[in-house]
Amino acid sequence: MEAFHPSLTFPYSYTFPTTTSALGGVIAENIDTSCPNPWMDARIWSKLPHRLVDRVIAFLPPPAFFRTRCVCKRWYALLFSNTFLQLYLEVSPRRHWFLFFKNKSLNGSYIYRNNNNGGSNGDTNRGDTNCEGYLFDPYEIAWYRLSFALLPSGLSPASSSGGLICWVSDEAGPKTLILCNPIVGTVSQLPPTLRSRLFPSIGVSVSPTSIDVTAAGDDLISPYAVKNLTAESFHIDAGGFFSLWGINSSLPRLCSFESGQMVNVQGRFYCMNYSPFSVLAYDVAANNWWKIQAPMRRFLRSPSLVESRGKLLLVAAVEKSKLNVPKSLRIWRLQACGTTWVEIDRMPQQLYVQFADLENGSGFQCVGHGEFITIMILGSDKALLFDMCRKRWQWIPPCPYVHAGVDGDLHGFAYEPRLATPVTGLLDQLTTIPFQAFNA
């Protein structure tokens, strides 16, 4: 067993229950000690082998795991045990959760500038206080607050994959990217990009044995011009192969992707293209970009690309003002041929009337993970959760850590919480290659 580390604090902000809760919390006075339960006899449970107890703990979701660490020193030290972490990686079930941040809006010039009082662009989420993220569990409909105390200022979340959040530097120029595991607080830095950029779209794919990152568009041609001309990729894998930001194939003509995010689906990155709407696709292995025509592209509003169970989905409102077709919110799936879309679901009309009244043309943002899609209404704390397996729509309770109308909108990422991400150890191989570290 590795050494005990008492200095590690909780990454979560908890409000411990005082009554019986859906998460299993029970107050002490609810336990009838006069009639002990034979199934909870300490003489039985105290004799369980450690390896069996560890296996049970490995199945706990992260919030429950960190509460469990309060029980004893041995359980506290499990986070530092290589044996336990290996077991955890083997047996822990996948959790399709979401991680949200307060939105950092772009200014009118579309150029990031430093602001010593509030981070870039006057972002009140940074500055003198630690950056916060808000973890949402769609299974229990529960919110948790995470702190990113180890990250320097001047960074914004750009993408996520494999339990890691990718942060990119705000300042115009060669971009610095940092991979962070917010559950355990690890931080790993990538070398800076080759090209100077402003606000590129970032795609990240993290597998157990490799890391792929793509930064595309927003080439810094001059302080007053942004052109989507080039893309570059970073790759490193357990086989010892690495590529430090090689320029890849040219982007298609007339690219205009402003979302800043890419969706990773089975070795390909996808992002929305605007004016008119289409989808840009990049095959990492083939090093090839191309365009895919969006369905009903002239009638879409607030389109979003999401990943769901290895498939690419497009979620958007449909408005045909000159045709006798009711307005709706629809979901399409890209077929295996890679060019055809098929509608798979749409919001019930009665719910859409309520949704449209609350949204009132402000727009919305969608994030998908596993069987869930979250739909966040911009300018409010209202959000919907769609369970595709159960075909169930439900309103999400507002995040208790954000003040609606004061803190701004939330923008989110698909996130799978993990206690360990050993693939980041591959980046240690780059320590012998000189590159300038990021200094906030």
The least confident of 88-102, 246-260, 361-375 is 246-260
Domain boundaries, the chain: 40-93, 97-432
Residue 14 confidence (pLDDT): 39
Residue 29 has pLDDT above 50, yes or no: no
Task: Determine contact, residues 157/167, Cβ cutoff 8 Å.
Answer: yes
pLDDT band, very low/low/confident/very high, at 243 (cuts 50, 70, 90): confident
Residue 371 has pLDDT above 70, yes or no: yes
CB under 8 Å to 245, separation ≥6 — which residues? 191, 192, 193, 194, 215, 232, 233, 234
The percent of residues in the chain predicted with pLDDT above 70, rounded, is 79
CA distance 171 to 251: 23
Residue 292 confidence (pLDDT): 93
pLDDT band, very low/low/confident/very high, at 131 (cuts 50, 70, 90): confident
Residue 121 confidence (pLDDT): 39
The percent of residues in the chain predicted with pLDDT above 90, rounded, is 47
Residue 407 confidence (pLDDT): 65
Residue 116 has pLDDT above 70, yes or no: no
Residue 235 has pLDDT above 90, yes or no: yes
Task: Determine contact, residues 234/131, Cβ cutoff 8 Å.
Answer: no
Residue 9 confidence (pLDDT): 44
Residue 122 confidence (pLDDT): 39
Mean pLDDT for 197-215 is: 92
Residue 65 confidence (pLDDT): 93
Three-state DSSP at 82 gives helix
CA distance 233 to 212: 7
Q: Could you tell me the two tokens for 432? A: 């012998």
Strands 201-206 and 196-197: unpaired
Strand segments, DSSP code E, in 218-340 are 219-222, 225-227, 231-237, 242-247, 263-265, 268-273, 278-283, 288-293, 300-308, 311-318, 328-334
Phi and psi at 201, nearest 5°, equal -80, 135
Higher pLDDT, 241 or 12: 241
Three-state DSSP at 290 gives strand
Residue 397 confidence (pLDDT): 94
CA distance 49 to 40: 16
CA distance 303 to 274: 10
User: What does DSSP assign to residue 128?
Assistant: T
Q: Could you tell me the two tokens for 314? A: 């497009």
Mean pLDDT for 300-326 is: 86
pLDDT band, very low/low/confident/very high, at 222 (cuts 50, 70, 90): confident
CB under 8 Å to 378, separation ≥6 — which residues? 359, 362, 363, 364, 365, 409
Residue 402 confidence (pLDDT): 86
The least confident of 44-58, 202-216, 395-409 is 395-409
User: Rounded to two decimals, what is the model's pTM?
Assistant: 0.81
Strand segments, DSSP code E, in 294-432 are 300-308, 311-318, 328-334, 341-346, 364-369, 372-377, 383-387, 392-395, 410-415
User: What mean pLDDT, rounded, does the chain reach?
Assistant: 81
pLDDT band, very low/low/confident/very high, at 324 (cuts 50, 70, 90): low
The least confident of 176-180, 193-197, 257-261 is 257-261
Task: Determine contact, residues 198/238, Cβ cutoff 8 Å.
Answer: no
137, β-bridge pairs: 142
Three-state DSSP at 90 gives helix
Give the count of beta carbons closer than 10 Å to the beta carbon of residue 388: 17
Residue 348 has pLDDT above 70, yes or no: yes
CA distance 50 to 40: 17
Give the count of beta carbons closer than 10 Å to the beta carbon of residue 40: 9
- Residue range 97-432 forms a domain whose CATH class is mainly beta
Higher pLDDT, 83 or 150: 83
Residue 98 has pLDDT above 90, yes or no: yes
The least confident of 47-51, 129-133, 417-421 is 129-133
Residue 92 has pLDDT above 70, yes or no: yes
